[in-house]
Amino acid sequence: MADNASWITPAAAIAESFPDGFSELRPCAQVNLRGDIADLAFTDAVKSVTGLTLPDMPNKVATGKDFKALWLSPDEWLLVGEGDAEALVQSLEDALAGQHVAVNDVSANRTIFELSGPHSHHALMKSSEYDFHPRVFAPGDCVQTLIAKSQAIVEQVGENMFHIYVRSSFSRYVGGWLAEALAEYNEAP
């Protein structure tokens, strides 16, 4: 596999226009996992490989040492980490051999933006109909929703810090949109 570091997404070309508090993360390992959460053989095998107990609560994130798991649907999770996606896929395939599962390397499928700072909520309010108020959405939560008119996964990784996962083909659209949403706050002295 080619070195992730040389990967280019369409958002990279407009990165110079990104204001403080907004950036595209460098590529990382993303693996899409599907299986039956009620099946101990499945959850045990996943745990043995990743150390993670997959979240069964909708829209929650479980965080382990190397990887975290984002709930995407009742039988689907996105594993995200700095490690080697290919190696993770292989270990999962080995541990899950014979089970009805789906494991896909989707590291290139989506790119991840990081949005942080005091105006991150405003940028989200301008871009999404979802309620990101701290009373409702907190670190450890993730949600699949729309950012402008693009599908996205939004994960809160810390106070006023969000990771926004979008399909790579939408990355220039979403990146440009969010950068412009923040412009109002950056121009003010």
156 touches other proteins (CB under 8 A): no
Residue 174 beta carbon to other proteins: minimum distance, rounded to whole angstroms: 8
Residue 49 beta carbon to other proteins: minimum distance, rounded to whole angstroms: 18
Of these, 22, 77, 162, 170, which contacts other proteins (CB under 8 A)? Answer: 170
Q: What are the start-end ranges of the H helices in 1-144? A: 40-50, 85-95, 120-127
In three-state secondary structure terms, 70 is strand
- Residue 127 · residue 181 · CB < 8 Å: yes
Q: Is 173 exposed, middle or buried (0-12, 13-18, 19+ CB in 10 A)?
A: middle
Binding to other proteins by CB under 8 A, coded x per residue (else -) over 75-94, reads xx------------------
Of these, 20, 87, 94, 100, which contacts other proteins (CB under 8 A)? Answer: 100
60 touches other proteins (CB under 8 A): no
Which residues pair with residue 60 across a beta bridge? 141
Give the N- to C-terminal CA distance of the chain in Å, as an integer: 46
Chain centroid, CA 14 distance in Å = 20
Which one, of 76, 71, 78, 43, lies nearest residue 57 by Cα?
Answer: 71
Of these, 45, 143, 164, 182, which contacts other proteins (CB under 8 A)? Answer: 143
d(CA 125, CA 121): 6
Binding to other proteins by CB under 8 A, coded x per residue (else -) over 19-38, reads --------x----x-x----
State the number of binding residues for other proteins (CB under 8 A). Answer: 60
- Point out which residues bind other proteins (CB under 8 A): 1-2, 4, 6-10, 13, 27, 32, 34, 58-59, 72-76, 100-102, 104-110, 122, 125-126, 128-131, 133, 135-136, 143-146, 148-151, 167-170, 172-174, 176-177, 180-181, 184, 187
